[in-house]
């Protein structure tokens, strides 16, 4: 147990350089493109977005969704299309399984 604790403190002393918080494959956003926000929870001057509590009809919904799809493709690349195809294939196969389950009738004979 002492060896484990010593190795933990050694890793901490070296600032966890052998254990990155985000692997390079998952780091999709460049450092200069990252936007961070600092919010103080103790502050009384928080800007609450009360208008976000109500539904607003968007007449340009289809157009806006297409624009976001283009932005998403630009950021994620072709990977998203493969994931979408995989999800569609899974949903098609799961609907077949649901139909099979509906055909089976369960009888309760516990008395």
User: What value does the mean pLDDT take over residues 82-104?
Assistant: 60
**pLDDT digit string, tens, across residues 36-54:** 887 777 767 777 778 888 8
Whether the CB-CB separation of 28 and 76 falls below 8 Å is answered with yes
Return the pLDDT at 77.
Answer: 77
CA torsion angle for 49, 55, 56, 60 (degrees, to 10)?
A: 110
- What are all long-range contacts of 82-90, with beta carbons under 8 Å and residues at least 24 apart? none
Distance in angstroms (rounded) separating the CA atoms of residues 73 and 76? 5
- Predicted pLDDT at 80: 56
Is the whole model's pTM more than 0.85, yes or no?
A: no
2-16, 44-58, 65-79 — most confident range = 2-16
Please tell me the predicted confidence (pLDDT) of residue 107.
83
* HEC profile of 43-88: CCCCCCCHHHHCCCCCCCHHHHHHHHHHHHHHHHCCHHHHHHHHHH
Q: Has residue 97 got a pLDDT over 60?
A: no
pLDDT-derived band at 35 (thresholds 50, 70, 90) equals confident
The token pair that represents 12 in the structure block: 């901490």
Which residues, at least 6 apart from 11, have a Cβ–Cβ distance to it below 8 Å?
18, 19
């Amino acid at each position: 147990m002492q060896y484990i604790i010593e190795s933990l403190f050694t890793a901490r002393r070296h600032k966890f350089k052998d254990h990155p918080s985000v692997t390079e494959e998952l780091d999709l956003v460049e450092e200069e493109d990252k936007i961070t926000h600092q919010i103080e929870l103790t502050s009384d001057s928080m800007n609450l977005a009360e208008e976000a509590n109500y539904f607003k009809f968007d007449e340009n919904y289809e157009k806006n969704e297409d624009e976001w799809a283009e932005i998403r493709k630009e950021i994620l690349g072709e990977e998203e299309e493969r994931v979408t195809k995989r999800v569609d294939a899974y949903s098609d196969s799961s609907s077949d399984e649901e139909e099979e389950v509906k055909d089976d009738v369960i009888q309760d004979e516990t008395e």
